[in-house]
Amino acid sequence: MQLTLWTYEGPPHVGAMRVATGMEGLHYVLHAPQGDTYADLLFTMIERRDRRPPVTYTTFQARDLGGDTAALFTRALRDAAERFRPEAVIVGASCTAELIQDDPGGLAESAGLDIPVVPLDLPSYSKKENWGAAETFYQLLRRFAAKGAARPATCNILGPTALGFRHRDDVTEIAGLLSRLGVTVNLVAPMGARPADLARIGDAAFNVVLYPEIAGQAAAFLQRRLGQPFTRSIPIGVGGTRDFIAEVAALAGVDATPLLAEEASRLPWYSRSVDSTYLTGKRVFVFGDATHAVAAARVARDEMGFEVVGLGSYSREQAREVREAARALGLEALITDDYLAVEQAIAEAQPELVLGTQMERHTAKRLGIPCAVISAPVHVQDFPARYSPQMGFEGANVLFDAWVHPLMMGLEEHLIGMFREDGEFTDTAPSHLGHAAAPAPVSAPAPAPAPAHAPLALAWAAEAEAELRKIPFFVRGKARRNTESFARARGLSTITVETLYDAKAHFSR
Amino acid sequence: MSLALEAGCEARPVLRERGQREVFCGLTGIVWMHRKIRDAFFLVVGSRTCAHLLQSAAGVMIFAEPRFATAILEERDLAGLADAQEELDRTVARLLERRPDIRLLFLVGSCPSEVIKLDLAKAAQRLNARFAGVRVLNYSGSGIETTFTQGEDACLAALAPELPGSDAPQLLIVGALAEVVEDQWRRLFAAMGVHRLAFLPARRAGEMPAIGAGTRFLLAQPFLAETARLLESRGARHIPALFPLGAEGSTEFLRAGAQAMGVGEARFREATALAEARAKAALAGPRARLEGRRVFFFPDSQLEVPMARFLARECGMEPVEIGTPYLHRAHLARELPLLPASALLSEGQDVERQLDRCLAARPDLVVCGLGLANPLERQGITTKWSIELVFTPVQGHDQAADLAGLYARPFARREMLRV
Ligand code: SF4
Ligand code: SF4
C-alpha cells in the first residue's frame, strides 16, 4: 500500500481517455463501476471541452456483481457502437473491472461488431496515466499503421493528446516551424487524428516526437515497423528549439540555415539585457514530467543564468534521462511520485524559485517561495485562452515571462536589501504581485523521517539571528543552512555574527 | 397550509431506468465531511483511481490542511489479503504518527477494496485496540454501493452505533450543515425555548450527541436513509417534515421540530415569522428571473425532489423532469405530493436516453453534473452545475434567496454577455 495525499498521475485508463478524447471517430468503452465517470470533468472542466469525451462506461453497481457483468459490458459496447457510429472502438477495464476479470477484449471480439475493436490491457495496480496513454497510442498504431509512400521532407507530429499541458499551442508553434523549414506535416496524432488517418502514417519520411512520455513507444515501433526515424531533441527553450530544427533538417534533407539565422525568439535579448543581471545564479528547483523537467533545467541554466539546485521527475519510465541531465548539473536526480518527498527536497534545497507542477505551486506557496508551472498535472488556469506554447521560439518568450514574473523585481530587491525596516515593502513577497503578504510561516513540512544521526544542537546568538534577518528573505534560508553546516563542520555550538560572516566568506570563495 | 391533506399518496408514477450513470461515487462526500468534523481523518483504501477522483473533486482545497488520503492498493496487496491487513496497519500507524491531532479515523472502503473483500470492519476493530485516543470506524464510499451524497449517509451511519446513549428528551438535526445554518437554528430554537438541540455530525469527534428514546430527529438532508434507520434502532424517532429549502420548506421543517418539542404554534410563529417574511421578500428578486422557466434535473444528490418543489412553488418554475439517483419514498412523503403533476419523476439513469429526452424537451435550465454542463451549454442550453448546491449553505430561511440565486445566476449571465 502506498499512502497518497496527491497523485501526479491518474490511473492508466485516464491516459487511454486522453488519447480517445484527443482523436476523432474513436470511441472508448470502459468497464468501470458507477462513479468513475468523474473523469469526464477533467475534460469538460479543466480543459473546457465543449463535448462529452467519447467514452461509454458500463457503470456497474454492487447488485450487478452477482449477475452478469460481462453481458452488461457487451450491451454497453453494442449500444455505443450503434449510437455513436465510430470508425473504431477501444475497449478496456478500469481498476475495479480489472479485478472482476470479464475480459473486455474477448467479449468485444465475440460481440461481432463490423468496425475494428482494439483491446487495451492496462494494469491499473502497477502503471499510471502516461503509460496508459503511450500504450493506447501504440496499440492503435499496431492495429492501423501501414506502409506508405514515405514522401521526402514529410513528417508526422506525434504525442499531443487531450488534457496535455499546452499541447494545443505547442502543435501550432511546431507546425509553423516545420512549414518555415519547408517540411510538410503529414499527420498530427493522436490529437485531431481519426483511426483511418493512422493508416496513412507511413506516408511520412520521419516522425517528430513532441512528448516522449506519450509517443516514445509508438515512435520506436514505427521505426521498427516502417523504418521511420524520429526526433530526440525537445524544442523547449531557444537551444532546444535550435537543436530540434537542425535535427529535423537533417532528417528531412533540407537546409536549416535560413531559419536558424532568423532568430525568432526575444528570450536571448531579454536575458542579456542588464535588467536581467540580477537573475544570475538564482537558485531554482525543477520538478515535473521528465521531458519538461529536463528541458526546463537546461533553459534555467543556459538561457536564464539560474543555478539549478534540484532536478526531479515523477516519470519513472524516463528516469534514466533525468538522472543523466541531473548528473550533468552536478546533482542527484529526485525520482519519486511521493509529493512529501518533493516537498522535503525543496525545503532542504532552499531555492529562490520553484519550477514544477500544480503540486509544487502549493508546496512553494506554503514555503513562501516563488513558483511557476512547467508541467502537468495542472489545473484549469494552465489551460489558458491566450496563445501560450512552451515549445519553439514563441514558447521561449512565454517561458521567460512566466518564470521571471513570480520573482521580485531587481530594484525592489536592492532596496529591501538596503533598508530593512520599511513597513510597506514587506520582506516576504514581491510587491508587483499586489498582495502585502503576511510573513509566511515557513512551517516545517510534515515531519520527515528522523535522520539516522541527530545533528549537533546549534544555537544562534541573538545578534547573529538579528543579522541573519538583514539578509533578503529569498536567500536567507540558504544563508542559514550554509552557516549552520559551516558551524557544524567546525564543531561550533553557538553561531555568532562572526560565524555568520566567516561562513559567508567561506562559501563565496 | 396543511400538508396532511395530500400526504400518503403513493401513486405517482416513476420512470426507472438502468444504463450508464453519470454520477460521483460516495467517496466524494469526504470532500465536505473532512471539513465538517475538524479532528477526523478519512483514509480511503482503494486504487489510484480513487485518489485521482478525490483530488479532481477537491481541486485546490486538497492542500488546505487535507485530512484525507488514499492508501493505494498495489499488486502485492491483491495477491495476499492477510498481508494487505498488515499493510493497512502499517499505513495507519504511519499516518497517525504524522497527524497526532486526529481523534476519529474513518477507513473508507472503495470499489476495489469491496470487490477483493478486504475486511475494513475487522481492521477498524484491530486498530481501535491498538491506538488509544483515536476512534477508528469504517464505511464504504464505493461507487458500486453509493452515489455521491450517500457517502455522507454511510459515514453518519458508521457514527450512529457509536453515539453515547441518553434517553433525555432532545431535538437532533441530522445531516452535515454549514456552521452558519446551525447557528441560525440554534438561535431560532432558543427563542422558542428549545435548548436541548443537537446536530449530527458535531464539529468535533468528542462532541457527538448522545441519543436514545427521548431523541426526536429531523433530517436536514434527503439522502440519509441508512443513518435514519440506525438512529431509529437506537430508540430515536424521526419527525417527518419538508426539507429546509426555501421559505416554505424551512418553516415546515422548523415547525415539525418545534411541535415535536411541545412548542405551541403562537410561540413558533413569534420566533420564525420575521425570518420567514425576510426570506419571502428576498426571493422576489431571483424569482423574477426564474418564473415561468422550465427546469430539467439530472440525477446527482437526491436533493432534486425538494429542490424542484422549491423552484416550482416559490420561484414559479416548471419542472419538466426530476431525476434522482435514488428515491426514498418515506423520507420524501411530504415532498412528493407538492410536486406539480406534470413533472416526470425518474429514478436511476441511462444518461444517453436522458440526454435525448432533455434535448427534445429544450428546457430553459438544466441542473446537471460537471461532465455534462459545458457540452450542454455549447448546445445553447443554460445549465446549473449541481455540485455547488451541496457545497453552499442553502438550508434555512436566510439562505432561501441565495439558493434561488444559484439558479438565477446562469440566466443573469446569459443576459449580460454580448459575445
Ligand atoms: S400527483 Fe400528487 S396527489 Fe396525484 S398521485 Fe401523484 S403525488 Fe398523489
Ligand atoms: S470508489 Fe469506485 S467509483 Fe469511486 S473512485 Fe474508487 S473505483 Fe472509482
Q: How far apart are CA B274 and CA B365, in angstroms?
A: 32
Inter-chain touch B142–A7, beta carbons under 8 Å: no
Q: Does residue A65 sit at the B interface (CB-CB below 8 Å)?
A: yes
Q: What is the DSSP letter of B322?
A: E
Q: What is the DSSP letter of A45?
A: I
Residue A257 has pLDDT above 50, yes or no: yes
Inter-residue contact B386 to B300 (CB < 8 Å): yes
Stretch B8-25: mean pLDDT: 85
Taking the centre of ligand 2 as the mean of its atom positions, its distance from the CA of residue A35, in whole angstroms, is 6
Q: A81-95: per-residue pLDDT in tens? A: 999 999 999 999 999
Judging contacts by C-beta atoms under 8 Å, the chain A residues touching residue B71 are: 1-4
Judging contacts by C-beta atoms under 8 Å, the chain A residues touching residue B374 are: 44-45, 48-50
Residue A481 pLDDT grade (very low, low, confident, very high; cuts 50, 70, 90): confident
Supply the pLDDT for residue A420. Answer: 58
Residue B324: name the closest of B114, B12, B33 by CA: B12
Q: Which of B22, B24, B44, B48 to mutate to test the interface with A (most CBs of A within 10 A)?
A: B48
Residue A348: name the closest of A421, A406, A283 by CA: A283
Supply the pLDDT for residue B84. Answer: 85
**C-beta of B337 in contact with ligand 1 (< 6 A):** yes
Taking the centre of ligand 2 as the mean of its atom positions, its distance from the CA of residue B303, in whole angstroms, is 22
For a pLDDT cut of 90, what percent of chain A falls above it? 73
Indicate if ipTM > 0.90.
yes
Stretch A289-313: mean pLDDT: 98
Supply the pLDDT for residue A480. Answer: 86
Q: A416-449: per-residue pLDDT in tens? A: 666 555 555 555 555 666 554 443 433 434 443 4
Supply the pLDDT for residue A411. Answer: 58
Q: Kindly identify the ligand whose nearest atom is closest to the C-alpha of A96.
A: 2
Q: What is the DSSP letter of A54?
A: S
Pairing type for strands B104-109 and B135-140 reads: parallel
Phi, psi of B277 (to 5 degrees): -65, -40
**C-beta of A10 in contact with ligand 2 (< 6 A):** no
Measured by CA distance, the residue closest to atom 6 of ligand 1 is B12
Strands lying side by side in the sheet with A334-335: A334-335, A307-313, A283-288, A353-356, A371-373
Q: A143-168: per-residue pLDDT in tens? A: 999 999 989 999 999 999 999 999 99
**C-beta of B110 in contact with ligand 2 (< 6 A):** yes
Q: How far apart are CA A365 and CA B184, in angstroms?
A: 36
**Of A409-418, A423-432, B390-399, the least confident:** A423-432
Q: Does residue B26 sit at the A interface (CB-CB below 8 Å)?
A: yes
User: Which of A57-66, A239-248, A468-477 has the highest mean predicted lDDT (pLDDT)?
Assistant: A239-248
Supply the pLDDT for residue B1. Answer: 36
Cβ neighbors of B289 (< 8 A, separation 6 or more) are B408, B411, B412
Q: Does residue A85 sit at the B interface (CB-CB below 8 Å)?
A: no
Phi, psi of A71 (to 5 degrees): -65, -35
Q: How far apart are CA A285 and CA A267, in angstroms?
A: 20
Residue A475 pLDDT grade (very low, low, confident, very high; cuts 50, 70, 90): confident
Q: Does residue B52 sit at the A interface (CB-CB below 8 Å)?
A: yes
Q: A376-392: per-residue pLDDT in tens? A: 999 898 999 999 999 99
Q: Which of B2, B9, B329, B336 to mutate to test the pocket of ligand 1 (most atoms within 8 A of CB)?
A: B9
Judging contacts by C-beta atoms under 8 Å, the chain A residues touching residue B19 are: 79
CB neighbourhood size of A243 (10 A):
17
According to DSSP, the residues that pair with A92 across neighbouring strands are: A30
Q: B73-113: per-residue pLDDT in tens? A: 999 888 877 688 899 999 999 899 888 999 999 999 999 99
Supply the pLDDT for residue A442. Answer: 39
B43 in helix, strand or coil?
strand
Pairing type for strands A2-4 and B68-72 reads: antiparallel
Q: Which of residues 136-155 of B touch A (CB under 8 A)?
A: 142-145, 147
**C-beta of B5 in contact with ligand 1 (< 6 A):** no
Average pLDDT, chain A: 90
Q: How far is B48 from chain A (nearest CA, A)?
A: 6
Supply the pLDDT for residue B165. Answer: 97
Supply the pLDDT for residue B83. Answer: 83
Inter-chain touch A2–B55, beta carbons under 8 Å: no
Supply the pLDDT for residue B65. Answer: 67
Residue A353 has pLDDT above 90, yes or no: yes
**C-beta of B9 in contact with ligand 1 (< 6 A):** yes
Q: A219-236: per-residue pLDDT in tens? A: 999 999 999 999 999 999
Residue B217: name the closest of B234, B242, B236, B243 by CA: B236
Residue B223 pLDDT grade (very low, low, confident, very high; cuts 50, 70, 90): very high
Supply the pLDDT for residue B260. Answer: 97
Supply the pLDDT for residue A468. Answer: 85
Judging contacts by C-beta atoms under 8 Å, the chain A residues touching residue B72 are: 1-4, 7
Catalytic residue among A275, A289, A302, A401: A275
Q: Does residue B75 sit at the A interface (CB-CB below 8 Å)?
A: yes
Supply the pLDDT for residue B61. Answer: 60
Supply the pLDDT for residue A262. Answer: 85
Stretch B25-41: mean pLDDT: 95
